């Protein structure tokens, strides 16, 4: 038995896998794993986006070719209709038919040029090619192309303008395509003896009144330049079967046809307005 006191100091060291260096390595590994996971998810997202872009481009090209193919029908129909009557017409009417054939021939050439312009498709856009010109004679020229079609089907094609001349910026190809499809559909769905009306009006900016007809305009319709704040409204109406309110939301859907009972066989595809 000893009355002396002994002191034993015991130091417990951390295991090798839980010392300062190990924790530092663990933190670095965790950061690396987070970055690796982020890179993996980012690459997957980019790959999915690229796949979607390629799919959308393919669909866009398909729609483009379908639309252009459909656009060939209208000028070809007008050319054939005019050429069938060339032998029965006197000199002046013969000139009009020749001009119609030339105009629609140029339209077909423009459509072919659009087919060849594949570079526009790669950017997934078809930019406007605007010119500044008098749009009234242009609209009258497009409408005149349908005179023979209307006469052949026993229809009356009426034009109504609130001005004789209007200088503005517009894309001739786009305007012609829109007018041709609207008039073609109206003539197609209007029964014999009916009427199709093309109405062109200038509309002022919201909240502003249209200028009153002064002494100069009372004798003759106005000739003016369209202001930036104003717009031109083109409407086509007919005495055909019409479209029910239920079907109106779908008229711009591709291949959608409202009613096939009143249409001549082989004329409708459901993409004219789409």
Q: How far apart are CA 183 and CA 201, in angstroms?
A: 17
Q: How far apart are CA 164 and CA 79, in angstroms?
A: 27
Instruction: Quickly name the fold that domain 132-240 has.
Output: Heat Shock Protein 90 (3.30.565)
The mean-pLDDT minimum among 1-10, 51-60, 216-225, 252-261 falls in 216-225
Query: pLDDT band for position 273 (50/70/90)?
Result: low
Among candidates 181, 188, 192, 156, which has minimal Cα distance to 234?
181
3-state secondary structure of 244: coil
Among candidates 149, 240, 260, 259, which has minimal Cα distance to 191?
240
pLDDT at residue 41, rounded to an integer = 93
Identify any residues that bridge with 234 across adjacent strands, giving them in sequence order. 200
Q: How far apart are CA 262 and CA 272, in angstroms?
A: 16
The mean-pLDDT minimum among 89-93, 133-137, 141-145, 244-248 falls in 89-93
Q: How far apart are CA 215 and CA 163, in angstroms?
A: 15
In the chain, the percentage of residues whose pLDDT exceeds 70 is 68
pLDDT at residue 134, rounded to an integer = 93
Domain boundaries, the chain: 132-240
Query: pLDDT band for position 42 (50/70/90)?
Result: very high
Query: pLDDT band for position 219 (50/70/90)?
Result: very low
pLDDT at residue 209, rounded to an integer = 58
H/E element, 200 = strand 195-203
Q: How far apart are CA 23 and CA 27, in angstroms?
A: 6
Query: What pTM did the predictor assign?
Result: 0.54
Identify any residues that bridge with 153 across adjacent strands, giving them in sequence order. none
Q: Note the pLDDT tens digit of each residue in 132-156.
A: 999 999 999 899 888 888 988 899 9
The mean-pLDDT minimum among 18-27, 32-41, 85-94 falls in 85-94
Q: Note the pLDDT tens digit of each residue in 162-173.
A: 888 899 899 998
pLDDT at residue 242, rounded to an integer = 78
The top-scoring range by mean pLDDT among 163-167, 194-198, 218-222 is: 194-198
pLDDT at residue 125, rounded to an integer = 59
Query: pLDDT band for position 76 (50/70/90)?
Result: confident
Query: pLDDT band for position 65 (50/70/90)?
Result: confident
* Bridge-based pairing state of the strands 163-170 and 195-203: unpaired
pLDDT at residue 127, rounded to an integer = 73
- Whether 164 and 219 have beta carbons less than 8 Å apart is answered as no
Q: Is 50 exceeded by the pLDDT of residue 20?
A: yes
When pLDDT is averaged across residues 59-64 and rounded to a whole number, the result is 75
Higher pLDDT, 181 or 266: 181
Mean pLDDT of the chain: 76
Q: Note the pLDDT tens digit of each residue in 96-137.
A: 777 777 777 777 767 776 666 655 555 555 677 899 999 999
């Amino acid at each position: 038995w000893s009355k002396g006191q002994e002191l034993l100091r015991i130091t417990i060291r951390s295991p090798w896998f839980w010392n300062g260096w190990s924790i530092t390595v663990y933190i670095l590994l965790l950061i690396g794993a987070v970055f690796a996971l982020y890179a993996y998810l980012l690459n997957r997202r980019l790959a999915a986006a690229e796949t979607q872009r390629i799919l959308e481009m393919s669909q866009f090209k398909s729609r483009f070719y379908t639309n252009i193919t459909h656009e060939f029908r209208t000028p070809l129909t007008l050319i054939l209709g005019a050429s069938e009557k060339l032998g029965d017409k006197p000199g002046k009417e013969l000139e009009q038919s020749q001009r119609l054939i030339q105009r629609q021939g140029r339209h077909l050439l423009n459509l072919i040029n659009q087919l060849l312009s594949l570079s526009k498709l790669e950017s997934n856009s078809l930019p406007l090619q605007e010119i500044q010109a008098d749009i009234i004679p242009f609209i009258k020229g497009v409408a005149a192309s349908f005179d023979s079609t209307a006469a052949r089907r026993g229809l009356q094609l009426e034009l109504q303008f609130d001005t004789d001349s209007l200088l503005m910026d517009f894309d001739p190809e786009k305007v012609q395509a829109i007018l041709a499809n609207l008039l073609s559909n109206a003539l197609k769905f209007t029964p014999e003896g009916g009427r199709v009306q093309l109405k062109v009006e200038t509309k002022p900016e919201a909240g502003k009144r249209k200028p009153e007809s002064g002494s100069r305009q009372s004798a003759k319709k106005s000739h003016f330049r369209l202001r930036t704040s104003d717009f031109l409204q083109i409407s086509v109406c007919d005495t055909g079967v019409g479209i029910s309110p239920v079907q109106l939301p779908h008229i711009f859907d591709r291949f959608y046809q409202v009613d096939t009972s009143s249409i001549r066989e082989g004329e409708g595809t459901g993409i004219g307005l789409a």
